[in-house]
Amino acid sequence: MPDNDKLLTKFKQHLLLEKALSQNTLEAYVHDVEKLFPFLEKRGITPKDAKLEDLENFLAELHDEKIGPRSQARILSGIRSFYRFLVLDGHIEADPTLLLESPKIGMKLPEVLTIDEIDMLINAIDLSKREGQRNRAIIETLYSCGLRVSEACNLKLSDLYLNEGFIKVEGKGNKQRLVPISERAIAEIMDYMNDRSEIDIKPGHEDYLFVSAHFRKRMSRITMFHIIKELAEQTGLKKTISPHTFRHSFATHLLEGGANLRVIQSMLGHEDIGTTEIYTHIDANRLRSEIIEHHPRNKRAK
């Protein structure tokens, strides 16, 4: 429907200009709204006329399609943002999502690697291959700085302040933060720079730190995922890991080492400390496991 297309175009502009969202989040929100439109259209309802009951039926259909609660909640986030925009832009008077209940989500604790497991992955990298040193630098930087995979992909040479021991990171919503970088990560990056200097990098990609020797441009998120998946298989690591696992491990190890939760929040670039608090649950879980394993009553029971 032409009217829907116009609304979607305005919504995109709103997200881009007013909310300053990352490209990935923007595309996800638009995709969520595009799921809603055909549902309403089949029932002869325009997005502007949709009521609370219509949106509840939409969520019920997602459930019937076996879409999990976590994915439903993410889709609902995009729908809420769309209806807030409709109110702000004067298309509707009341937001029908205000009383829309979010699906119940059980807390899923992220996978965390031990320091030995991280060292095992790094040591398994074949340095005789031309991408070997680059991959070591990537993993050490992900873990040392707690970066999101998109932040690692977008890291630039002009963001590195290695003499001062910091890197500048651009996170969600184009927000920048300074993050300390370890001596070991600096050493791995410096060793990688020798290999990087031999790549004829494509114009427009010269400033990116991590580049593909084959494609001669900035590395993609998918390539980083693939590198880590291959390493896990190669080492026989049974845990399900991704680039994000190093971020979780970084935060957990900081907390275990006694770091303040506010410091970890700042390092990770979390806007809300509630997001950072998941790591206190990980720490509590680990503490419980240690007690169960080492308490004399439990030992006797075994």
CATH of the domain at 32: 1.10.150.130
Which band of pLDDT confidence, cut at 50, 70 and 90, is reported for residue 238?
A: confident
Buried b vs exposed e over 48-70: b needs ≥16 C-beta within 10 Å? eebeeebbebbbeebeeeebeee
Segment 242-263 mean pLDDT: 87
pTM above 0.85, yes or no: no
pLDDT of residue 126: 94
* Total domain count, the chain: 2
Same domain, 155 and 253: yes
Same domain, 207 and 123: yes
Place of tokens 């604790």: 109
299 lies in some domain: no
Same domain, 256 and 130: yes
102 lies in some domain: no
Which band of pLDDT confidence, cut at 50, 70 and 90, is reported for residue 107?
A: low
Quote the Cα angle for 268-185-108, to 5°: 35
Question: Are 91 and 48 spatial neighbours (Cβ–Cβ below 8 Å)?
Answer: yes
Helix, strand or coil for residue 178? strand
Segment 194-201 mean pLDDT: 95
Segment 71-98 mean pLDDT: 90
- Domain extent for 176: 115-290
pLDDT of residue 19: 66
Q: Active-site residue numbers? A: 148, 172, 244, 247, 270, 279
pLDDT of residue 108: 61
Highest mean pLDDT out of 31-40, 169-178, 198-207, 281-290: 198-207
